[in-house]
Amino acid sequence: MSKANEALGGTESRIPAFKTIEEEAEFWDTHDSSEFDDEFETVTDVRFVRSKRKQPITVRLDQDTVAALRRQAHRRGIGTSTLARLWITERVRDLEEHSAAPKAS
């Protein structure tokens, strides 16, 4: 049982478990956190971790691709370069995980 459920006396949380960041964002766009004050707990051991320094690179894309990337970023409410970085990072991570997996014989 989670600490939040223990704090509620063993009852289920009214905050759903989210499958995606988008699903969670949609939920919090339509709800106020004050609706769930009784489910929150005080945290005393908060630590902030510096993100790794990012190294800029140049990627040349044709105008149609840039326009499509901008549209996709706008739909998600993030910057174009942020979306490009997220997609590149996800793809590289997937490729690295796939290449690290043992090959079936």
The helix-helix angle for 80-100 and 63-76 (nearest 10°) equals 90
- Cα pseudo-dihedral 54, 48, 3, 38, rounded to 10: -110
Question: What residue ranges do the domains of the chain occupy?
Answer: 3-39, 50-105
Q: What are 9-18's contacts with CB under 8 Å, separation 24+?
A: 13/39, 14/39, 15/39
Handedness of CA 9, 14, 17, 22 (dihedral sign): negative
Angle at 53 between CA 87 and CA 45, to 5 degrees: 95
Tens of pLDDT, residue by residue over 23-72, are: 999 999 999 999 999 998 899 998 888 888 889 999 999 999 999 999 99
- Residue 32 phi/psi, 5-degree rounding, is -105, 135
Tens of pLDDT, residue by residue over 76-96, are: 999 999 999 999 999 999 999
The candidate with the shortest Cα–Cα distance to 67, out of 83, 82, 57, 80, is 80
Q: What is the reported pTM?
A: 0.51
